[in-house]
Amino acid sequence: MVEKIQKTLRDSAVARWAVLVLVASMMFFAYMFVDILSPLASLLESSLNWDRGDFGTYAAGEYLLNVFGFLILAGIILDKMGVRFTGLLSASLMVIGAAIKYWGISWPEANTVEWLNAWWPAMPGSAKLAMFGFMIFGCGCEMAGTTVSKILAKWFKGKEMALAMGLEMAIARLGVFAAMWLAPMFSAKFAVDGTDSVTAPLLFASLLLVVGLLNFFVFTIMDKTFDNQLVAIGEATAEKDPEDEFHVSDLKQILTSKMFWIIALLCVLYYSAIFPFQRFATNFLEETLAISNAEAAGLFKWFPILAMVLTPFLGAFIDYKGKGASMMLLGAVIMIACHCVFAFVLPAYPSKVLALITILVLGVSFSLVPASMWPSVPKIIDEKVLGSAYCLIFWVQNVGLCLVPLLIGKLRVATNGYLVPMIVFASFGVLAFLLSLALKVEDKKKNYGLELPNKKK
């Protein structure tokens, strides 16, 4: 009888995996919305009079408020108000941002309204409204990402945490491919007078965000029940003890943690050698192998697909066998080797087979590091400031992802080639390797358990 009382929803495999499906579907819809207009850039230019600069400025709007501090505020809100409030807030911000973006794109008069053109005449009014909506959406999207990480850490504590986080990442990345596949299809299906539609794909993706918001409402009911069960079995109290409540001063725990800064810097260096590289990869392969843009894109498409498939399996390995710190170390070594091949070997021996093999191996690296990094954070940071820790890591990462593409672009122009940019990417890998080594040494010294399995027997 006592054993039955001690069980909670978290002990039910059906319940905790249902939670994963609910929150991961929200991130799937979010990632889909991010790129729903990417395949339609030329259509925006022809139908709304945008130029490539307008599209780039609009796209940058997603990160703008986050880089200037919103992510730090999001972490404080998450730890102060909890996952239910913050999740609903983040999903609502995404829906509001999507509505504004859809309004800007679908409103024919947007380009001619004087109050829109007065403060920034260089951009069409529709681009300004779309950018403003994307800024609000971006705040919600990044807040949702950190909230989901804390939710999975809570619901899979002592269970299959790394597998759950790996599956969530895979499902979210699948949203990007869904956007690339569905956007042109919806655009052509709802063409008017022979002109493909920009608004139809955007409306579809916006409505899916509403579904994501409804999914999160269902999660809040489950999470409230779970919290009540924790109170009933004595693992939590109905009223938080003042010592357990989050205070802004608690951020000192994060900022003074050596392990936190090692992981945060490892994160920004590793991702700075991955995501900015993705933006240049197609053109790099096109020039290096002397092939068409379509062939180059066809080669590189296997990188994110393989990473998406492998990450959950590696997460499961960490849950049952451990070795998280070793995986980060191995991932950094593989990345260094791949970028060195891109820098020195592929230009000397241009081969599609060699390029494809290197891309696939780089995909293995992109599976190893994220699968082991994100489940490691709850092992080094107190749960009451875990949301702030994730948000601070995301903030550091966002700063890097904003600056590195600018650096690579300038190096590309200055050197008229890809040798120096690839060396820079490899150098990021070397620094990530050194930080991974420091992480492993510190873990051995302080026994954080990064090498131990997540699943308790």
Whether the domain at 1-245 and the domain at 247-457 fall into the same CATH topology = yes
CATH class of 1-245: mainly alpha
pLDDT tens over the chain, length 457 residues: 344 446 888 889 999 999 999 999 999 999 889 888 877 777 787 888 887 667 777 877 787 888 888 888 888 888 888 899 999 999 999 999 999 999 988 886 766 666 666 666 677 888 888 888 999 999 999 899 989 988 998 999 888 888 898 899 889 888 877 887 788 888 888 888 777 888 899 999 999 999 999 999 999 999 999 988 888 877 665 545 444 455 667 778 888 889 999 999 999 999 889 878 876 787 889 889 998 866 877 788 788 777 788 888 888 888 888 888 999 999 999 999 999 999 999 999 999 999 999 999 998 998 898 888 888 888 888 877 888 888 888 888 878 877 787 788 788 878 988 899 999 999 999 999 999 999 999 999 988 889 988 776 5
Q: How far apart are CA 222 and CA 333, in angstroms?
A: 42
Burial class, 356, CB count within 10 angstroms (exposed 0-12 / middle 13-18 / buried 19+)? middle
Domain 247-457 in CATH 1.10.3720.10? The answer is: no
Question: Per-domain residue ranges for the chain?
Answer: 1-245, 247-457
User: Who contacts 387 (Cβ-Cβ below 8 Å, separation ≥6)?
Assistant: 75, 78, 79, 83, 86, 146, 147, 150
pLDDT recorded at residue 53: 67
Name the token pair of 234. Answer: 């004595």
What percent of the residues of the chain are helix, what percent strand, and what percent coil, each to the nearest 5? 85, 0, 15
Name the token pair of 91. Answer: 């999903």
Residues 198, 192 contacting (CB under 8 angstroms): no
Q: How far apart are CA 299 and CA 236, in angstroms?
A: 52
DSSP at 418:
S
